[in-house]
Amino acid sequence: MSRRSKGSRSRSSCRSRTRTASPAEFRSWVTRHVPEQIRTELLQRIRNLEELAKPLWTPIRDLTRHLATTTLGTMGVTVNLPPLSPEQDRALARHAVANIAAEYWRQHEYRPGVLLPMLQTVGVPWDVAQDRIHVLDLPPQAIRVALAAAAKSTRRLRNARGPGLENPIAQFHFQVAAALSTIGQLGPWALGSALPLITLLRCLVLARYSPSREEALVAAGAADALLDALRPDLSRRMTRTPYQLRELRARFIEIHQAVLDLHDGLRASGPSRALLTRAKQRFGATITMQHLRRWRRMDPLAIARQLGGRELGRSEKALRDLLALAERLEETDTAWVTFVDYVKTLPEDQQRQLLTALPVLVPPESEKAAPPTA
């Protein structure tokens, strides 16, 4: 058996005893607060990232500039990077802390038997991929736990020095690290970014054509790492993403409405051949007159759960749990929409505290609307 096969079996065995929680479970905290309270809570969580990041500001900035310069250099691009603003400096440091927390919680149970969904560490918490939660959805204590556990890594980062990056081998490893980071953040959409593709191409070319066997082995290992990062981890594939929950709820509402229509007929005229035909057409040929007699005395919602569980391939308990999650998701979406409307009423500097706390995926609305300056 190959080493990779053994590793795959080990990971699968380890994760078979755990489940990845639905994003709806961790994003619903906003439903317990009004917009002013949500803003206060978010600012507290941002300050927590900033406090944890303070010792790392200088090394993170220096390492990031070296990484960007050397990565661009491997692609034949020579450019003097402009200095970052203090606001960008802080966002970069907060982002580094968020990434440390994301990597820690990717590998550890948040609760016994429960893994967190993937953590998004850029942008804002009201705009996340459907299979993820935002780092600002986590309470400060969860970030502190991750940083404390990753103390050795942060010490290595603090002690890192730039001159080693002049070495071509170090430059190569930093380019691979940057590509892996891009894949980790964007998932399959990383293939739309030049860096992962160029890095993978470089690794494959070196692995095939390098005159040095050692260099070829290193490049082949890096190519494997990049391809492994792109492969979907089906052991963590969720069946309770927001899209799936919304679809399930819509189908259940349709089933419930059909039951209500049938139940109205049962209460009005009792079981009949005509109602039995309707029931068979909608819920299947196994429906009998005995079902109709029993349903006449039952609550329509209980009937819908029985039929819905059978139609949707879920137990009644699982269906109740999933519908509760779907309802929580709808309340969460509503709370965030209300909060975004509230944020737009704030002064611009207060908006930026929230919109640029972490590196942004798109410019804030105020920047997109601003006219170009001369």
Residue 9: predicted pLDDT: 41
Task: Say what the pLDDT of residue 112 is.
Answer: 92
Evaluate if residue 152 carries a pLDDT over 60: no
User: How confident is the model at residue 121, as a pLDDT?
Assistant: 87
Name which residue leads in pLDDT, 11 or 290.
Answer: 290
Once rounded to an integer, what is the mean pLDDT over residues 356-361?
80
Name which of 331, 346, 355, 258 is nearest 27 in CA terms. 331
The mean pLDDT value for 87-96 works out to 82
> What digits encode the pLDDT tens for the residues 204-243?
988 998 889 999 999 999 999 999 988 876 655 556 677 7
What digits encode the pLDDT tens for the residues 289-303? 999 999 999 999 999
Rounded CA separation 298/371 (Å): 64
The stretch 160-187 carries a mean pLDDT of: 70
Return the amino acid letter for 156.
R
Q: What is the mean pLDDT of residues 25-41?
A: 95
Per-residue pLDDT tens over the stretch 332-345: 999 999 999 999 99
Contact 69, 80 (CB under 8 A): no
pLDDT at 10 over 50: no
CB 267 within 8 A of CB 319: no
Q: What is the mean pLDDT of residues 260-274?
A: 91
How much is the average pLDDT of 128-140?
A: 90
CA gap 180, 196 in Å, rounded: 7
Residues forming beta bridges with residue 120, ordered by sequence position: 134
Distance, CA of 139 to CA of 41 (rounded, Å): 9
Specify the range with the lowest mean pLDDT, choosing from 26-35, 45-54, 63-72.
Answer: 63-72
The whole-number pLDDT of residue 12 equals 42
pLDDT recorded at residue 47: 95
Tokens 């170090």 found at = 170
Confidence of residue 7 (pLDDT cuts 50, 70, 90): very low
Give residue 299's pLDDT: 93
Mean pLDDT of the chain: 81
**Is it the case that residue 368 has pLDDT exceeding 50?**
no
pLDDT higher at 89 or 1: 89
Q: Which of 32-46, 48-62, 139-153, 324-338 has the highest mean pLDDT?
A: 32-46
Q: What is the DSSP letter of 55?
A: G
Using the predicted structure, report yes or no on whether residue 41 has a pLDDT greater than 90: yes
pLDDT at 137: 97
pLDDT at 8: 41
Average pLDDT over residues 340-354: 95
| Arithmetic mean of pLDDT, 54-60 | 72
Q: Mean pLDDT over residues 42-53, rounded?
A: 94
More confident call, 365 vs 93: 93
Alpha carbons 322 and 318: distance in angstroms, whole number: 6
Q: Which parts of the chain fold into alpha helices (H)?
A: 3-15, 23-27, 35-53, 57-74, 86-107, 140-149, 151-159, 168-186, 194-209, 213-230, 242-269, 273-283, 289-296, 300-312, 316-343, 348-355, 365-369
